[in-house]
Amino acid sequence: GVIKMVMAMRNGKLPATLNVDEPSPHIDWESGQVRLLTEAEEWPEGQRPRRAAVSSFGISGTNAHLILEEAPKAPGEPDAEASVPVAPVLPVVLSGKSGVALRAQAGR
């Protein structure tokens, strides 16, 4: 899922939703902006970086959720702003057995 979304950002194309025959009846599809992509479509650049969420739910109860954001264009890339320095982007990975332990780890 992570590689799929990184490639979607890189190529500017949203991939089709996989393994779905029909939309869930438990979601009110008419009330908002959420919809299933039945086929790939263009993902145009906007005023803000593209963002995507990837979730993984393990059978053992181990769950992960990741928010990805499009990297700024590097100097020399088309449409890159020369006046904006590109700082290195590094993940901050935390782990804890409970919410309390995770917050304590973040505090350290």
Q: Which two tokens stand for residue 108?
A: 């350290």
CA distance 69 to 53: 9
Average of pLDDT values for 18-45?
Answer: 86
Nearest to 1 by CA among 13, 12, 15: 15
Q: Would you say residue 92 has pLDDT above 90?
A: no
Q: What is the dihedral of CA 72, 75, 78, 79, to 10 degrees?
A: 60
20 lies in a domain?
Answer: yes
Q: What is the mean pLDDT of the chain?
A: 84
Number of separate domains in the chain? 1
11, part of any domain: yes
- pLDDT at res. 81: 56
CA-to-CA separations, 15 to 5, 6, 30, 44, in angstroms, rounded: 8, 11, 22, 13
Residue 83: which pLDDT band, with cuts at 50, 70 and 90? low
Residues spanned by the domain of 42: 1-73
- CB neighbour burial string for 24-55, b if at least 16 within 10 angstroms, e if fewer: eeeeeeeeeeeeeeeeeeebeeeeeebebeee
- Asked if residue 58 is part of any domain, the answer here is yes
In a domain, 40, yes or no: yes
pTM higher than the cut 0.85: no
Percent of the chain whose pLDDT exceeds 90: 25
Consecutive H or E run containing 100: helix 99-107
Q: Residue 102 domain-assigned?
A: no
Residue 93 resides in a domain: no
Amino acid letter, residue 10: R
